[in-house]
Copies of this chain bind each other. A is one copy, B any other.
Amino acid sequence: MQRIFEVDPWHLISHQLDDKSKLLQESLTSIGNGYMGMRGMFAEDYSGTTHAGIYIGGVWFPDRTVVGWWKNGYPEYFGKVINAVNFAKVNFWLNDEKVDLAKNQISDFTLDLDMQHGELRRQFTVTKGTARVQITITRFVSIVQKELFVLHYNFRNLGQAPVKLQIDSALDGNVYNQDANYHEQFWQVKSRQQSMTAGLLVAKTKPNPFATPRYTTAMHMTNATTLTPQATPETNQQVVNRFNGELAVGATTDFEKRVIVTTSRDYADQQAVIAAAKKISQQVAQQTYTELETAQQQAWTVRWQQADIKINGDTAAQQGIRFNLFQLFSTYYGEDNRLNIGPKGFTGEKYGGATYWDTEAFALPLYLAVAPTTVSEHLLEYRYNQLPGAVHNAQAQGLQGALFPMVTFNGIESHNEWEITFEEIHRNGTIAYAIYNYTNYTGDETYLREKGIDVLVGIARFWADRVHFSQRKQQYMIHGVTGPNEYENNVNNNWYTNLLARWTLQYTLASLPKTTTAKQTKLAVSTAEKAQWQDIIDHMYLPEDEKLGIFEQQDTYLDKDIQPVTAIPAAQRPINQHWSWDKILRSPYIKQADVLQGIWYFIDQFSPAVKQRNFDFYEPLTVHESSLSPSVHAILAADLHYEAKAVEMYQRTARLDLDNYNNDTNDGLHITSMTGSWLAIVQGFAGMRVRDGQLHFAPFLPQDWQSYQFQINFRGHLLNIEVTKTGTTVNLQSGSALTIDLDGQQLELNSGKPFVD
């Protein structure tokens, strides 16, 4: 655990500038707007440890898969998240000396991520000889105008002599990816234009041999200041505007940089990309800095009004949940149904890809409850639109139906390790489950009937082809899979995978009759096919251990050397940073919920005794080294009234990055697991369930908290739920009357009349 920011309900504030924690600081102070985003690196060159990462949603590069021995069906490339042209760059000189915070004498350093208003601020004083200048910097990526990035500087001369000031504002195409294989570059600069105060740089991703697009991006900057613009020399792969002047004793001066970023994702060709950048730049020029900033702050305020969770009595927890929601919304707010929720969002390059099953498993439930329904629809449509890619992926493995990718930008699998892509097919089950989840939550079967059914039939066909019938056991089996616990690979009969496969077939068979005749004709599921699905449903093998009364994670899990996590020396954790992959694979240690993930999905279908036996057996074997792990355990622990365990798990998920629990936040944030703390509170502490179309709550209050409060959008009703030491208040904020179940009691809610338990 490593906590570098002060505990505060709305801010991440630090007065420390420490090279050793610089990467962590940068990750935690990332900002974004769904369209683009960046790490909290300094805008100026920093000669210490830094990772200047700026990313644009849906802009990527297919990096050829390289293996010793090629096998059929291997994905051809790894989908790399690539570092964009550095459009945030601003360097400045005091009395002709370049400022570099790794070298200069600075004081009064403050870094402040204002989550309430979506801004990152920095202030510090540089002392250089006789010069003493205080610099205050604000940056934001606009959630009002997606293409807009704004950087504002104020320089104040605190010294006893005038100070010569020079500022270089740049668009820098000379960028590298941290995860490049051979230090190669992914961008080619295609065009540069500049005036004294503005500049344009156009770059295109380098050629690749695959049937994937190359992306063109245009960055148009305008710079405004009272300093004097200077001619700048040609610089390779950069566009620079230079300004200088003198700062009198006690005087201040401002500098403002605005950048408009457009891409070929939205415009047809290079000319159109450039024209759009310039046009939007002109539009934005109509507004003052204050107007832009105010609009940004107001937009964030609206988001918070809908989604905020208030925790009284535990500021660290309060800060954690707000940080999670802030970063999640910075990554995705559903505006563009071609985008999704990348595992690192706009905070790093690790893992590659834009989309994992994390979205359906962990993010959808949150967006269903705290954002407009269109956001969830967009998430589902993303998969529907990528169905051709999923069919392609199945065919690449010689299988029928649709296999949604483990990692993708466009529907085609873009991860390149076979044990992931070939084997972690359980993702297909979750993508089917998301359709159920959406339908169950919204009560609206339109999506299911019109689009979801196509996805379900594709997945069902995949499962029906992927199982085999074991003569020895006289049951259907699924060999060669990797379950959610990625600390095992290529196992047979992962209980979770088999369960989801069977469930998908059941749900698809049950849903088909709800669709139109035209749809059924198009899908052409034959009687024989349905009979085969039913046979698989009836004879699916689900490993269980009778003696222990538990589901067995996979065929030979219980043959392992079963020792609880407490047997691992503390110095060897997290094991993925200390043990060889080989040792991890053979160990009994579970990375994230596996059997328990299945129990969570169908939490009402298992008896408390079954849930308890499985939780009691598996949780002590779980190292929670996936950021997706603690939330599921928090929910199940709460369900089992293991309140202390639920709180422990909540704490781990809520401040996973803030407290750098797994010692890997330097690389970027765990965006898709940001939903975990919300899930832990809402599904865990508050026990929210939707049963037969009715909302249920069974809340408890963590011992150290005074109260917590959250809001839920449910079928056109907006509910505010407050849980205090004295009881639960449910307030129907808007929408018609609604009957809910609170702790087993039916309660009718009317707008404006809070029910107090």
Q: Verify if A740 is at the interface (C-beta below 8 Å from B).
A: no
**Among B72, B396, B423, B576, which residue has its beta carbon within 8 angstroms of that of A576?**
B72
Q: Verify if A182 is at the interface (C-beta below 8 Å from B).
A: yes
- Known pairs A64-B182, A68-B352, A472-B559; A422 contacts B582 (CB<8 A): yes
- Known pairs A423-B582, A480-B582; A576 contacts B71 (CB<8 A): yes
B residues less than 8 Å from A102 (CB atoms): none
Q: Verify if A66 is at the interface (C-beta below 8 Å from B).
A: yes
B residues less than 8 Å from A182 (CB atoms): 64, 182
- A11-37: contact bitstring with B at CB < 8 Å (1 yes, 0 no)? 000000000000000000000000000
Q: Verify if A252 is at the interface (C-beta below 8 Å from B).
A: no
Most interface-central of A182, A562, A581 (chain B CB within 10 A): A581
> Which B-chain residue is minimally distant from A470 (CB atoms)?
B559
Contact yes or no, B490 A585, CB < 8 A: yes
- A459-498: contact bitstring with B at CB < 8 Å (1 yes, 0 no)? 0000000001111110001011000000001101000000
- Known pairs A73-B582, A181-B64, A581-B73; A556 contacts B555 (CB<8 A): yes
Interchain CA distance A558-B471 in the complex, whole Å: 8
Which chain A residues (562-588) contact chain B, with CB distance < 8 Å? 562, 576-586
**Among B64, B423, B555, B580, which residue has its beta carbon within 8 angstroms of that of A396?**
B580
- A583-606: contact bitstring with B at CB < 8 Å (1 yes, 0 no)? 111100000000000000000000
Chain B nearest CB, measured from A625 CB (Å): 12
* Interface residues of A, count at CB 8 A: 57
Interchain CA distance A555-B491 in the complex, whole Å: 11
B residues less than 8 Å from A71 (CB atoms): 576, 580-581, 584
B residues less than 8 Å from A472 (CB atoms): 558-559
B residues less than 8 Å from A423 (CB atoms): 582
Contact yes or no, B69 A181, CB < 8 A: no
Q: Verify if A191 is at the interface (C-beta below 8 Å from B).
A: no
Chain B nearest CB, measured from A466 CB (Å): 9
Which chain A residues (58-99) contact chain B, with CB distance < 8 Å? 64, 66-69, 71-74, 78
B residues less than 8 Å from A560 (CB atoms): 468, 470, 479
Which of A143-151, A413-421, A438-446 binds B? A413-421
Q: Verify if A704 is at the interface (C-beta below 8 Å from B).
A: no
Q: Verify if A620 is at the interface (C-beta below 8 Å from B).
A: no
Interchain CA distance A580-B466 in the complex, whole Å: 13
Contact yes or no, A559 B479, CB < 8 A: yes
- A539-569: contact bitstring with B at CB < 8 Å (1 yes, 0 no)? 0000000000000000110111110000000
> Which B-chain residue is minimally distant from A418 (CB atoms)?
B581
Q: Verify if A42 is at the interface (C-beta below 8 Å from B).
A: no
Which chain A residues (399-433) contact chain B, with CB distance < 8 Å? 399, 407, 415-420, 422-423
Q: Verify if A398 is at the interface (C-beta below 8 Å from B).
A: yes
Chain B nearest CB, measured from A31 CB (Å): 26
> Which B-chain residue is minimally distant from A577 (CB atoms)?
B72
Interchain CA distance A71-B583 in the complex, whole Å: 11
Interchain CA distance A479-B473 in the complex, whole Å: 22
Contact yes or no, A559 B477, CB < 8 A: yes
- Known pairs A351-B69, A417-B67; A579 contacts B398 (CB<8 A): yes
Interchain CA distance A158-B649 in the complex, whole Å: 91
Copies of this chain in the oligomer: 2
Q: Verify if A282 is at the interface (C-beta below 8 Å from B).
A: no
Contact yes or no, B580 A73, CB < 8 A: yes
Interchain CA distance A423-B581 in the complex, whole Å: 11
- Known pairs A559-B477, A586-B468; A72 contacts B398 (CB<8 A): no
Interchain CA distance A532-B172 in the complex, whole Å: 63
Contact yes or no, A582 B418, CB < 8 A: yes
Q: Verify if A397 is at the interface (C-beta below 8 Å from B).
A: yes
Interchain CA distance A581-B582 in the complex, whole Å: 21
B residues less than 8 Å from A556 (CB atoms): 479, 492, 555-556
- Known pairs A555-B555, A559-B479; A68 contacts B420 (CB<8 A): yes
B residues less than 8 Å from A492 (CB atoms): 556, 559
- Known pairs A468-B560, A583-B398; A68 contacts B480 (CB<8 A): no
B residues less than 8 Å from A562 (CB atoms): 471
B residues less than 8 Å from A397 (CB atoms): 580, 582-583
**Among B68, B78, B480, which residue has its beta carbon within 8 angstroms of that of A415?**
B68
Contact yes or no, B561 A470, CB < 8 A: yes
B residues less than 8 Å from A69 (CB atoms): 351, 417, 420
B residues less than 8 Å from A468 (CB atoms): 560-561, 586
Chain B nearest CB, measured from A626 CB (Å): 12
B residues less than 8 Å from A558 (CB atoms): 472
Interchain CA distance A73-B578 in the complex, whole Å: 10
B residues less than 8 Å from A561 (CB atoms): 468-471
Contact yes or no, B579 A72, CB < 8 A: yes
Contact yes or no, B471 A66, CB < 8 A: no
Interchain CA distance A399-B583 in the complex, whole Å: 9
- Known pairs A68-B351, A420-B68, A560-B470; A479 contacts B586 (CB<8 A): yes
Interchain CA distance A420-B581 in the complex, whole Å: 13
> Which B-chain residue is minimally distant from A72 (CB atoms)?
B580
Most interface-central of A72, A182, A470, A473 (chain B CB within 10 A): A72
- 13 A-B contacts (beta carbon < 8 Å): A68-B407, A68-B415, A69-B417, A69-B420, A72-B579, A73-B580, A74-B581, A468-B560, A469-B561, A470-B561, A480-B585, A492-B556, A555-B556
Q: Which residues of A contact B (CB under 8 A)?
A: 64, 66-69, 71-74, 78, 181-182, 351-352, 396-399, 407, 415-420, 422-423, 468-473, 477, 479-480, 489-490, 492, 555-556, 558-562, 576-586
Beyond A67-B416, A397-B580, A418-B582, 9 additional contacts (C-beta under 8 Å) are: A68-B407, A72-B577, A73-B581, A73-B582, A73-B583, A422-B582, A468-B561, A472-B559, A489-B490
